[in-house]
């Protein structure tokens, strides 16, 4: 007989609400995301109810994982399952009862469908935000966050960083952390200015990308018929050393372009791509001789080429130095914050010019800070 939970049992209702909140906070409806299996087990549960909720709330879109590389399986949120699960909880029934019935005489079927979708999206945000605030209550109340430093990527990690941005923003705002900042075009800026610091040139295509990043993303998105998020990821991939532009499954960019050979060919032949990849190479030609201690050698004693992973490690060292300087500056100025890799959300606005001056004096790089505004 197929298992069906007792929805009237308060213990089950509590576990169901927690599972809905967790998947709502971490998984997207239309974009696969890597989530550790142990975390799913911890929050969704196991045994009969846990297995039932897994099948109901989560869709596994990619079963491949690697313990060595840290790659996890990929998942999306099952909207139909979430709708079914939330309908078993009183909050959702009360909310539904306050809305017009799709069967009413004057209702419009299309309008009702749209309304139901919006309602479900609101519920996903509601459950996800409530779960997040409850999960990190002590840290949000005290504004003291416990990060774990990862020596592999030289970053400060926290579980709240893995929560979807919209929900994380609301959770942080509940604690008064509403001012959003980041290091402007952090990856390109650090590669360009570190190269300059070591005797290289300020290459024009990279410099223009840093100063006009949004227009470059929009232009790339328009030409390749992709969204801005994908355009941003492609630019980042290029700086991370994505060189394979062949139309095959080994090409990260080809996958992002939905395996469209014509789009791949356009990118490969575009003046912008040719210029920026050449300038990135020139930057690394200047930088890498200063990091020979990272060089690997073949068995016969010959040098191996630096890999994209080693280049990323060099970048991460630069990002780490800047992040430590910024966090020290915030603490010295009694500003509470939550740190997210190359940015932060704080409870006060900062003196941007003063912080930029401090960074330039300490790093000898022309780093700028972007204020993304006050969140709600």
188, 206, 342 from 183: Cα distances, Å: 11, 16, 6
Q: Which structural domain range is residue 31 located in?
A: 10-136
Between residues 104 and 88, the one the model is more confident about? 88
Q: Do 341 and 241 reside in the same domain of the chain?
A: yes
Whether the pLDDT of residue 113 is over 60: the answer is: no
- Which pLDDT score is estimated for 240? 82
Question: How many domains are contained in the chain?
Answer: 2
- Beta strand 58-62 pairing with 74-77: antiparallel
Q: Do 194 and 132 reside in the same domain of the chain?
A: no
- Render pLDDT for 39-89 as a digit per residue (tens, 0 to 9): 999 999 988 999 999 999 999 998 888 877 778 999 999 999 998 888 877
Q: Do 303 and 370 reside in the same domain of the chain?
A: yes
Residue 141 counted as domain residue: no
Closest CA to 80 of 55, 44, 102, 49: 55
- Which residues, other chains included, contact 235 with Cβ-Cβ below 8 Å and sequence gap of 6+? 188, 209, 216, 217, 220
- Which pLDDT score is estimated for 8? 85
Q: Which of 136, 162, 190 is the last residue of a domain?
A: 136
- Which pLDDT score is estimated for 86? 86
Q: Do 354 and 213 reside in the same domain of the chain?
A: yes
Contact 86, 20 (CB under 8 A): yes
Spatial distance between the Cα atoms of 251 and 45, rounded to a whole number of angstroms: 36
Whether the pLDDT of residue 4 is over 50: the answer is: yes
Whether the pLDDT of residue 31 is over 50: the answer is: yes
71, 186, 340, 357 from 354: Cα distances, Å: 40, 18, 21, 5
Within 10 A of 205 (CB to CB), how many other CB atoms are there?
20
Between residues 113 and 47, the one the model is more confident about? 47
Residue 185 counted as domain residue: yes
Closest CA to 208 of 276, 284, 287: 276
Mean confidence (pLDDT) of the chain: 89
- Which pLDDT score is estimated for 241? 76
Residue 163 counted as domain residue: no
Q: Do 107 and 249 reside in the same domain of the chain?
A: no
Residues 32-38 have a mean pLDDT of 93
Handedness of CA 315, 320, 323, 329 (dihedral sign): negative
Q: Do 74 and 193 reside in the same domain of the chain?
A: no
Q: Do 319 and 257 reside in the same domain of the chain?
A: yes
- Render pLDDT for 278-311 as a digit per residue (tens, 0 to 9): 999 999 999 999 999 999 999 999 999 998 889 9
Phi, psi of 97 (to 5 degrees): -70, -20
Whether the pLDDT of residue 94 is over 60: the answer is: no
Q: Do 119 and 184 reside in the same domain of the chain?
A: no
Residue 3 counted as domain residue: no
- Which pLDDT score is estimated for 87? 82
Q: Specify the pTM.
A: 0.87
Residue 319 counted as domain residue: yes
Residue 156 counted as domain residue: no
Spatial distance between the Cα atoms of 365 and 372, rounded to a whole number of angstroms: 22
Residues 269-273 have a mean pLDDT of 93
- Which pLDDT score is estimated for 120? 81
Q: Which of 87, 107, 136 is the last residue of a domain?
A: 136
Residue 363 counted as domain residue: yes
Residue 153 counted as domain residue: no
Q: Do 186 and 123 reside in the same domain of the chain?
A: no
Q: Which of 112, 136, 160 is the last residue of a domain?
A: 136
- Render pLDDT for 307-343 as a digit per residue (tens, 0 to 9): 888 999 999 999 999 999 999 999 999 999 999 999 9
- Render pLDDT for 121-158 as a digit per residue (tens, 0 to 9): 888 999 999 999 999 999 999 999 999 999 999 999 99
State the pLDDT confidence band at 20, using cuts at 50, 70 and 90: very high
Q: Do 83 and 34 reside in the same domain of the chain?
A: yes
Residues 105-123 have a mean pLDDT of 59
- Render pLDDT for 156-212 as a digit per residue (tens, 0 to 9): 999 999 999 999 999 999 999 999 999 999 999 999 999 999 999 999 999 999 999
Whether the pLDDT of residue 98 is over 60: the answer is: no
Q: Do 132 and 180 reside in the same domain of the chain?
A: no
**What's the token pair of residue 260?**
């469209």
Contact 25, 167 (CB under 8 A): yes
Spatial distance between the Cα atoms of 253 and 68, rounded to a whole number of angstroms: 23
Residues 105-125 have a mean pLDDT of 62
- Which pLDDT score is estimated for 104? 44
- Find residue 297's DSSP bridge partners: 303
What is the four-CA torsion angle of 331, 140, 34, 320, rounded to 10 degrees?
0
Q: Do 186 and 131 reside in the same domain of the chain?
A: no
């Amino acid at each position: 007989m197929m298992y069906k939970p007792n929805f009237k049992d308060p213990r089950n209702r509590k576990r169901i609400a927690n599972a809905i909140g967790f998947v709502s906070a971490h998984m997207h409806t239309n974009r696969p995301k890597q989530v550790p299996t142990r975390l799913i087990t911890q929050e969704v549960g196991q045994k009969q109810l846990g297995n039932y909720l897994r099948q109901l709330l989560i869709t596994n879109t990619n079963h491949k994982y690697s313990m060595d590389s840290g790659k996890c399986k990929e998942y999306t949120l099952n909207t139909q399952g979430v709708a079914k699960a939330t309908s078993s909880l009183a909050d959702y029934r009360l909310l539904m009862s306050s809305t017009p019935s799709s069967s009413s005489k004057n209702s419009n079927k299309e309008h009702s469908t749209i309304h139901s979708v919006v309602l479900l999206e609101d519920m996903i945000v509601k459950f996800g935000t409530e779960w997040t605030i409850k999960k990190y209550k002590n840290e949000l109340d005290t504004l003291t966050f416990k990060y774990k430093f990862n020596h592999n990527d030289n970053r400060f990690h926290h579980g709240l960083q893995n929560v979807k941005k919209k929900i994380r923003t609301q959770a942080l705002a509940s604690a008064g952390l509403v001012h959003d900042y980041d290091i402007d075009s952090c990856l390109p800026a650090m590669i360009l200015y570190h190269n300059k610091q070591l005797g290289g040139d300020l290459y024009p295509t990279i410099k223009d990308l840093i100063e006009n990043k949004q227009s470059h993303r929009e232009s790339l998105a328009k030409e390749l018929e992709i969204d801005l998020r994908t355009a941003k990821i492609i630019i980042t991939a290029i700086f991370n050393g994505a060189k394979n532009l062949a139309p095959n499954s080994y090409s990260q960019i080809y996958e992002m372009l939905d395996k469209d050979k014509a789009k791949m060919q356009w990118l490969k032949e575009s003046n912008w791509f040719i210029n920026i990849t050449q300038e990135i190479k020139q930057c690394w030609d200047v930088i890498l001789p200063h990091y020979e201690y990272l060089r690997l050698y073949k068995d016969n004693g010959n040098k191996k080429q630096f890999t994209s992973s080693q280049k990323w490690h060099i970048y991460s060292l630069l990002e780490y130095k800047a992040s430590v300087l910024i966090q020290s500056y915030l603490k010295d100025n009694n500003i509470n914050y939550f740190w997210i890799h190359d940015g932060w959300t704080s409870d006060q606005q900062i003196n941007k010019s003063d912080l930029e001056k401090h960074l330039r004096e300490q790093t000898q790089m022309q780093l700028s800070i972007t204020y993304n505004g006050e969140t709600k």
